[in-house]
């Protein structure tokens, strides 16, 4: 509109831009639903869940939440903790560290909370673990794979455990990235790779460990690019990679961006190299969004494929019978085991206590470190760092629009 | 060289979407000096409107037919976005027309959050990504070694056609003249018998229609939408509008293309460009504003009489 320009607009712009950014990072919500059953028990202990229940990663977060709910329902039905009813307290972290920290603070201030299952994102866990640690609440993550969470910043040379309350049933990025690199160089005979990651704790950690092992095996990384979570258009990055002609595009990140990278690389950009990623992309949403472009892509995931594990079959049957609307996803069995790791300790820890208190929380915290039982995903037990002793990984390949397991094993470095 | 041209193509496609949304920001600003931060959400709601018609209303036999499905999706997207924009103007902004300037701005942010949450909570399964139909061929063609997707051609052609149509509308029609008059001096325009309220509604309608088309095009390109796509798109488009000189139609379009191309070229040619592409986009913005505080095509700041 000629002549209508440039009145005093800078004031509002300067004021509002940061405000708008702040708003964009908020918006967490909660989703609570008490587990039913438990007879005439009156005392209540809550198990919290912190996972993405809104936004791009909802599919995974909901699978985690439901699997924990299943474990709680079963505990109440079977009266595993006599005299107590266990309830679910699910909080949304929207896959954002600051929202996760708020959720953790909320759970920590709830006197009935005895333990927390979560988070999905390693970056969120880095904020959540210290908050729960101050309240002596045990945290068991079904999905965090970033090494620093259990072994500190210098995990390669001098591992030290940063949070005494933190455990996980998922294996580490350093193992996952290494396993992927071994598969790429030894099974697929790939020599060159381009790496893309999303700069988050998980994505970058995975990409770094892949690179280290890939180069150790004699492979060459021809490019390392980064993207922003939330971006949709990756044409520029892929155009840059195309003339380098890598055998493989390794992506450290999650399925919302990973699926777009696959569809744009194999579609408009005409790149033939498959995309390989970690457990963050092994999700039905990835193949659904990328469509045919995803065929031939690879993804590693933690644990053996649930469908093939005898121990997981019962979980799958129970989950399906429980009538959840959403699938259990890659982390369902691990979340179920994480919840049970906490529940197992409750009869002894709660004992005759009148209510959940600091002493009970400490007892649970100590006891979780010592649990050992056969869960849905395999042996559930933790080492001195709080990491799972089960280190099985599986490589999946997309065939006809579905992730199919092609190789399971352990990575020994 | 081929890389350079390919990145230019990438940037142009990106810029076309930015420009189309930026027009809505710049028009509303030109008329009522409001930075309508909810405009990104109009874009998002439009995309969801288009998805709804495709998923629930179109008979199955028609979904594969581009000549039926595409116009239907676009039309409903526009209708939904326009309805939302008109309601937004009527209920949220008009009562604050004479309030201090900050009030409507804060309201705009409120409307933005309201729309996002409404889609998240009330659209079926709105919390998660929704697959969006591609509608036209996924195919590509090559010109001198540069790969172009057909959908990109569609995006750029439609965007440019709409931009030209808007210019023609504003320059030649009576309503367009009324818009220009209102933007220059609303009081005098009113004295000349122009119905200011109507002009403002028309402005919102035009901006919303363009945003809805952009929303559908984004859905087609990426085959997915979710309730948050409006935020980033809106932020980039707003940047484009400021870059071009907010209030200036040609400026918004130019700003969109400059921003898109700057992002693509930064990725290619700046070391660690992919990590820093947004930074470079904003460096371009700041650079332009330092040299030309009114934006690329903005005019000198004149205090209103």
Residues 6+ away with beta carbon under 8 Å from A72: A35, A47, A86, A87, A88, A339, A343
Cβ within 8 Å of A, B 61-100 = none
Query: Which residues in chain A are contacts of B131 at CB distance < 8 A?
Result: 288-289
d(CA B267, CA A240): 8
Q: With residue A221 as reference, give the H or E element that holds it.
A: strand A220-226
Share of chain A above pLDDT 90, in %: 67
pTM of the model: 0.81
Most confident of B57-61, B121-125, B165-169: B165-169
The residues facing A92 across adjacent strands are A51
Nearest to A164 by CA among A190, A182, A191, A137: A137
Residue of chain A minimizing CA distance to B304? A7
ipTM of the complex: 0.85
Of the candidates A127, A97, A130, A279, the residue with the CA atom closest to the CA atom of residue A205: A279
Q: What distance in Å separates the CA atoms of residue B150 and residue A403, rounded to the nearest whole number?
A: 29
Element (H, E) at B198: helix B196-222
First to last CA, chain B: 51
Across the interface, of A1, A236, A291, the residue whose CB is closest to B180 is A1
Beta bridge partners of B149: B140
Cβ pair A246, A273 in contact under 8 A = yes
Which member of B31, B231, B299 has the closest CB to residue A6?
A: B299
Helices in B223-272 by DSSP H: which ranges? 229-244, 249-269
Q: Residue A73 pLDDT more than 70?
A: yes
Per the structure block, which two tokens stand in for A177? 């990235």
Check whether B299 has a pLDDT greater than 80. no
CB contact under 8 A, B267 and A236: yes
Q: Tell me how far apart the terminal alpha carbons of chain A are, to the nearest angstrom.
A: 64
**Do the chains contact at B27 and A1, CB–CB below 8 Å?**
yes
* Cα A190 from Cα B36, distance rounded (Å): 51
- Per-residue pLDDT reduced to its tens digit, B196-244: 999 999 999 999 999 999 999 999 999 889 998 999 899 999 999 999 9
Of B10, B26, B246, the CB nearest to A235: B10
* Residue B104: closest CA among B35, B3, B187, B19: B35
Q: How many CB atoms lie within 10 A of CB A231?
A: 18
Q: For residues A348-367, give the mean pLDDT.
A: 90
Structure tokens of A155?
């995990």
Partners of residue A102 on adjacent β-strands:
none
A372-375/A378-381 β-pairing = antiparallel
Q: How many CB atoms lie within 10 A of CB A46?
A: 22
pLDDT-derived band at A316 (thresholds 50, 70, 90) equals very high
pLDDT, averaged across chain A: 87
Residue A252 confidence (pLDDT): 95
pLDDT in tens, A13-71: 444 444 444 444 443 333 334 444 444 557 899 999 999 998 878 889 999 999 999 99
Which of B204, B256, B193, B238 shows the shortest CA–CA distance to B31? B204
Bridge partners, B130 (sequence order): B225
CB contact under 8 A, B277 and A236: yes
For residue A302, the cross-strand partners are: A393
Q: What is the mean pLDDT of residues B253-278?
A: 87
A270: chain B residues, CB-CB within 8 Å: 140, 147
Q: What backbone phi and psi angles, to 5 degrees, belong to B65?
A: -90, 105
The answer to whether residue B21 scores a pLDDT higher than 60 is yes
């Amino acid at each position: 509109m000629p002549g209508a320009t440039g009145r005093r607009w800078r004031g509002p712009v300067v004021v509002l831009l940061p405000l708008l950014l702040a708003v964009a990072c908020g918006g967490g919500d909660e989703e609570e639903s008490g587990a039913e059953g438990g007879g005439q028990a009156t005392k209540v202990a809550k198990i919290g869940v912190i996972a993405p229940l809104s936004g791009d990663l909802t599919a995974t977060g909901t699978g985690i939440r439901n699997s924990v709910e299943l474990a709680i329902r079963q505990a109440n039905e079977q009266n595993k903790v006599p005299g107590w009813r266990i309830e679910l307290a699910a909080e949304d972290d929207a896959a954002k560290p600051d929202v996760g920290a708020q959720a953790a603070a909320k759970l920590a201030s709830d006197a009935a909370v005895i333990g927390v299952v979560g988070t999905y994102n390693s970056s969120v866990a880095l904020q959540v673990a210290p908050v729960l640690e101050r309240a002596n609440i045990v945290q068991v993550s079904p999905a965090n794979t970033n090494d620093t969470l259990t072994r500190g910043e210098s995990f390669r040379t001098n591992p030290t455990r940063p949070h005494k309350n933190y455990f996980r049933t998922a294996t580490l990025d350093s193992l996952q990235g290494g396993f992927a690199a071994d598969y790429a160089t030894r099974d697929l005979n790939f020599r060159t790779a381009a790496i893309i990651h999303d700069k988050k704790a998980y994505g970058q950690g995975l990409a770094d460990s892949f690179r280290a092992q890939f180069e150790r095996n004699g492979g060459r990384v021809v490019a390392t690019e980064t993207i922003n979570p939330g971006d949709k258009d990756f044409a520029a990055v892929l155009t840059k990679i195309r003339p380098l002609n890598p055998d493989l595009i390794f992506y450290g990140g999650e399925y919302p961006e990973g699926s777009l990278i696959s569809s744009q690389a194999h579609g408009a950009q005409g790149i033939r190299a498959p995309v390989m990623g970690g457990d963050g992309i092994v999700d039905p949403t990835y193949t659904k969004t990328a469509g045919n472009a995803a065929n031939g892509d690879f993804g590693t995931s933690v644990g053996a494929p649930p469908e093939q594990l005898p121990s997981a079959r019962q979980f799958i049957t129970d989950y399906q019978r429980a009538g959840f609307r959403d699938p259990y996803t890659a982390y369902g069995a691990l979340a179920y085991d994480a919840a049970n790791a906490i529940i197992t300790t409750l009869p002894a820890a709660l004992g005759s206590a009148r209510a959940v208190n600091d002493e009970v929380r400490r007892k649970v915290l100590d006891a979780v470190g010592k649990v050992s039982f056969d869960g849905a995903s395999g042996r559930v037990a933790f080492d001195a760092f709080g990491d799972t002793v089960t280190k099985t990984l599986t490589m999946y390949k997309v065939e006809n629009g579905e992730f199919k397991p092609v190789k399971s094993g352990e990575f020994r470095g | 060289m081929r890389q350079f041209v390919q990145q230019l193509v990438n940037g142009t496609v990106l810029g076309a979407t930015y420009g189309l949304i930026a027009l809505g920001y710049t028009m509303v600003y030109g008329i009522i000096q409001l930075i309508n931060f909810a405009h990104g959400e109009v874009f998002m709601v439009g995309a969801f409107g288009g998805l709804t018609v495709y998923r629930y209303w179109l008979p199955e036999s028609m979904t594969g037919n581009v000549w039926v499905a595409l116009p239907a999706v676009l039309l409903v997207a526009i209708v939904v976005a326009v309805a939302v924009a008109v309601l937004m103007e009527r209920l949220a902004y008009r009562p604050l027309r004479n309030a201090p300037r900050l009030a409507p701005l804060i309201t705009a942010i409120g409307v933005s959050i309201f729309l996002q949450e409404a889609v998240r909570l009330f659209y079926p399964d709105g919390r998660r990504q929704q697959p969006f139909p591609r509608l036209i061929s996924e195919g590509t063609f090559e010109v001198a070694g540069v790969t172009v997707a057909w959908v990109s051609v569609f995006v750029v052609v439609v965007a440019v056609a709409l931009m030209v149509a808007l210019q023609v509308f504003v320059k030649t029609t009576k309503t367009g003249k009324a818009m220009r008059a209102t933007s220059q001096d609303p009081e005098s325009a009113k004295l000349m018998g122009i119905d200011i309220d109507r002009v403002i509604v028309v402005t919102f309608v035009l901006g919303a229609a363009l945003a809805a088309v952009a929303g559908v095009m984004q859905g087609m390109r990426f085959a997915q939408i979710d309730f948050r796509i409006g935020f980033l798109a809106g932020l980039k488009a707003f940047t484009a509008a400021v870059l071009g000189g907010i209030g200036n139609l040609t400026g918004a379009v130019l700003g969109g293309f400059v921003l898109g191309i700057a992002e693509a070229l930064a990725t290619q040619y700046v070391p660690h460009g992919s990590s820093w592409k947004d930074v470079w986009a904003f460096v371009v913005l700041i650079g332009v504003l330092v040299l030309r505080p009114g934006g690329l095509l903005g005019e000198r700041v004149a205090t209103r009489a």
